Structures are given as structure tokens and as C-alpha cells.
């Protein structure tokens, strides 16, 4: 499982250019599903047959990143954020582009540290002229943070745990599920970081009877952190609300019941800010019951997002059990 996680989290795939990660996931899940297709927004939709009802599991495969908006005469690249990026997390980061071109993030001279904003930063790819830079990177190219996966034993660290850890869990569950109780639509969505865009159109075309998003959530277990009753290592979280969704109570109860029946530890999650694909799924067409399983994750939207391995394994068990249990609403 750790090898799978490493492979999935290290892959390049900022929101808007999910080609590489989509191809990787396609190769990983194809042997275990009955059908697989890509839609016009780049969502990867895999179907594993098992019943009359349709259950959609959504994990977003995009990650936050940057888009190049200008190349100056000395070859420095200016950029805009793609998804929610705090300036203070960017300094010193390495940025990689689709073709492997790598650069580092630098900053203009600042009067004070509080003046740090993204439009004062640039990416240096080692070029000396505009022409040299443009031979490698062009305006509109998307970059992602480059950072390797680290196994701390019980805890795992990488960029893009949000939400590749959920992708890895969904892949593993598809591999191990033996007796699905419904047609399982495993959707690896795009552009979640830009406003749940992939999930919205995928939910429309799949039109499931129930939707469950898999994602990460924040924790309240670090020094003077936000007030939140979620910790690493206490199991996957069953979401109650975030800014995008008030989870359908029946789905939440179903998820809790399945966890209890299978002796899987879980936590209840009330997230004050942040959104997830379930927000889009729930409001599709005439309304779709929707819930969320979140993996607790520290330092979200930085180059070093941390999850607990036991939470991940319990997450796989829970997703597998959800796939194998009939949802009765």
C-alpha cells in the first residue's frame, strides 16, 4: 500500500492538467473494473458492476499548483496560484512542469515579511533570457510543487496527500472489493481545487443514487491549532459539514453504521471552512444523497501534508465495506 501511495502522491497533476495522474490511475485500476472512460473535463470514471443501484465514489486527483502568466526578459516566470495557496508556504519550493522542467520560487526584495504576496514571487528555471525560458515553459503552462514522499513509519508525508491519499484508498478498495452491493462508479475527479468542477459534471452524467466523496480534512491536534475534534490516528472521519456541504443525515448514519458493524474506528468531522466534491454531487439534478469520508491530514496545502497510516488502512476497509453494503437510505 505504501508503494501505491508513493506512486500516486508523487505524480504530477495540478488542477487543469491532470493527464499524467489520470494515465497512472487508469493503468492501476483498469484490471479491476468493468468499464473505464474519460469525460470532457478529464474526469476518470471507472465502473465496477454489482447491482441495480448506482453508488458514486469521488476522489479528486488534481492538486494545487501555479500557472505561468509572464516570462520576463531575464527568463524569470511570473505566476498565479491554481487553488488555495498561502504565500508563506511557497518560498523555497521547487516547481515542476509537465515535461519535467524544474524551477525554484524566489521573491522580490521586501520591506517587511508581511508584504509577501504571490505577485511578488517568481519562478527561476535557470534560464538567462526570455528565449531560453520560453524554449521550456510557456505562458499558460501549469506547475506543481515537487516534493518526494517520506515514510515516517506510522505517519506519511508528501505533497498532494490532498487528495491523492483518497485516490490511493479508492484504488486499493477497487482492488480488494469482492462483492459490491451496487454498481460502483469510482470517479477520479478533476479541478476540485478550483471549485468542485469535475465532480459537478461527473455526477450529472453518472446520476448516481448516492454519492460518497473521499478527501482529506484538517485536524485540531497540533500546537494552538484550530478548534476541531479530529486527530491523526483515530480513524477516518465521517464528515458532518463543511462550507460546501451539509452531508445528507441518512448517508452519514449509513457510513457510521457500516464503520461500527465492521469494527472500524472513525471520528466525526465538523470542518468550519473548506469544501469537497460532495457539495457538488449533492446538488446535482433533483438532489443526490451525499456523504464524505475524510482522512485526517496535517499541514494541508503545503508541500508536506501528513497523514496517519492506520487511518489510511482503516479508510480502505471502510470504503470497501461501504461498497459491499446496500444503501437503504
What gap in Å lies between CA 183 and CA 188, rounded to an integer?
16
Q: Does residue 129 touch other proteins according to CB under 8 A?
A: no
Coil, strand or helix at 54: strand
- From the CB of residue 67, how many other CB atoms can be counted at a distance below 10 Å? 18
95-38-296-15 Cα dihedral, nearest 10 degrees: 30
Question: Which of 96, 283, 313, 321 touches other proteins by CB under 8 A?
Answer: 283
Question: Which of 23, 241, 310, 321 touches other proteins by CB under 8 A?
Answer: 241
What gap in Å lies between CA 275 and CA 257, rounded to an integer?
24
Q: Does residue 220 touch other proteins according to CB under 8 A?
A: yes
If the CB atoms of residues 131 and 229 are measured against other proteins, the closer one turns out to be 229
Coil, strand or helix at 47: strand
Distance of CA 280 to the CA centre of its chain: 15
Q: Which of residues 163-192 bind other proteins (CB under 8 A)?
A: 191
Q: Does residue 194 touch other proteins according to CB under 8 A?
A: yes
| Identified catalytic residue from 192, 193, 305, 324 | 192
Query: What angle, 0 to 180 degrees and rounded to 10, lies between the N-to-C axes of helices 2-10 and 161-176?
Result: 140
In whole angstroms, how close is the CB of 152 to other proteins at the nearest point? 27
Of 229, 260, 326, 247, give the one whose Cα is nearest residue 289: 247
For the question of residue 269 being annotated catalytic, the response is: no
In whole angstroms, how close is the CB of 80 to other proteins at the nearest point? 4
Question: Which of 27, 40, 224, 263 touches other proteins by CB under 8 A?
Answer: 40
What gap in Å lies between CA 96 and CA 10, rounded to an integer?
11
Q: Does residue 205 touch other proteins according to CB under 8 A?
A: yes
If the CB atoms of residues 215 and 269 are measured against other proteins, the closer one turns out to be 269
Coil, strand or helix at 304: coil
- The piece of 27-35, 149-157, 174-182, 285-293 that touches other proteins (CB under 8 A) is 285-293
If the CB atoms of residues 69 and 129 are measured against other proteins, the closer one turns out to be 69
Question: Which of 36, 104, 270, 313 touches other proteins by CB under 8 A?
Answer: 270
Is the separation of the CB atoms in 57 and 275 below 8 Å?
no
Q: Does residue 249 touch other proteins according to CB under 8 A?
A: yes
| DSSP structure string for 195-254 | TSHHHHHHHHHH--SEEEEEEEE--S-STT--S----TTS-PEEEEE-SS-B--HHHHHH
If the CB atoms of residues 126 and 329 are measured against other proteins, the closer one turns out to be 329
Q: Does residue 103 touch other proteins according to CB under 8 A?
A: no
Question: Which of 22, 60, 136, 197 touches other proteins by CB under 8 A?
Answer: 197
Coil, strand or helix at 183: strand
Give the total of residues touching other proteins (CB under 8 A): 47
**Distance between terminal CA atoms of the chain?**
32
Q: Does residue 82 touch other proteins according to CB under 8 A?
A: yes
What gap in Å lies between CA 190 and CA 60, rounded to an integer?
6
In whole angstroms, how close is the CB of 143 to other proteins at the nearest point? 13
Question: Which of 23, 39, 151, 221 touches other proteins by CB under 8 A?
Answer: 39
- The piece of 72-80, 154-162, 172-180, 297-305 that touches other proteins (CB under 8 A) is 72-80
* Contacts to other proteins by CB under 8 A: 15-17, 39-41, 43, 67, 69-70, 72, 78, 80, 82, 119, 139-140, 191, 194, 197, 200-202, 204-205, 220, 227-229, 240-241, 246-249, 268-270, 272, 282-289
Known catalytic residues?
192
Amino acid at each position: 500500500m505504501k508503494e501505491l501511495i508513493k506512486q500516486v502522491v508523487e505524480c504530477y497533476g495540478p488542477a487543469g492538467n491532470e493527464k499524467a495522474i489520470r494515465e497512472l490511475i487508469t493503468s492501476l485500476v483498469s484490471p479491476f473494473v468493468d468499464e473505464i472512460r474519460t469525460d470532457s473535463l478529464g474526469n476518470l470514471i471507472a465502473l465496477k458492476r454489482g447491482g441495480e443501484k448506482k453508488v458514486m465514489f469521488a476522489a479528486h486527483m488534481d492538486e494545487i499548483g501555479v500557472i505561468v502568466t509572464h516570462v520576463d526578459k531575464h527568463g524569470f516566470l511570473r505566476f498565479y496560484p491554481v487553488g488555495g495557496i498561502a504565500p508563506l508556504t511557497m518560498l523555497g519550493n521547487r516547481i515542476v512542469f509537465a515535461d519535467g522542467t524544474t524551477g525554484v520560487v524566489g521573491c522580490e526584495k521586501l520591506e517587511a515579511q508581511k508584504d509577501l504576496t504571490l505577485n511578488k514571487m517568481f519562478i527561476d528555471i535557470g534560464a538567462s533570457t526570455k528565449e531560453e525560458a520560453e524554449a521550456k515553459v510557456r505562458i499558460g503552462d501549469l506547475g506543481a510543487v515537487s516534493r518526494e514522499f517520506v515514510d515516517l513509519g506510522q505517519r506519511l508525508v508528501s505533497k498532494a496527500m490532498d487528495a491523492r491519499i483518497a485516490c490511493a484508498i479508492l484504488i486499493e478498495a477497487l482492488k480488494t472489493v469482492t462483492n459490491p452491493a451496487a454498481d460502483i462508479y469510482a470517479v477520479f475527479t478533476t479541478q476540485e481545487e478550483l471549485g468542485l468542477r469535475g465532480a459537478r459534471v461527473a455526477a450529472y452524467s453518472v446520476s448516481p443514487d448516492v454519492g460518497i466523496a473521499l478527501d482529506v480534512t484538517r485536524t485540531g491536534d497540533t500546537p494552538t491549532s484550530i478548534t476541531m475534534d479530529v486527530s491523526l490516528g483515530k480513524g477516518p472521519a465521517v464528515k458532518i459539514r463543511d462550507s460546501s456541504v451539509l452531508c445528507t443525515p441518512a448517508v452519514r448514519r449509513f457510513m457510521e453504521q457500516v464503520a461500527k458493524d465492521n469494527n472500524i474506528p472513525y471520528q466525526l468531522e465538523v470542518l468550519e471552512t473548506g469544501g469537497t466534491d460532495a457539495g457538488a454531487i449533492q446538488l446535482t439534478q433533483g438532489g443526490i444523497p451525499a456523504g464524505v469520508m475524510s482522512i485526517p491530514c496535517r499541514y494541508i496545502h503545503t508541500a508536506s501534508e501528513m497523514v496517519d497510516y492506520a487511518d489510511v488502512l482503516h479508510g480502505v476497509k471502510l470504503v470497501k465495506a461501504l461498497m459491499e453494503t446496500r444503501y437503504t437510505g
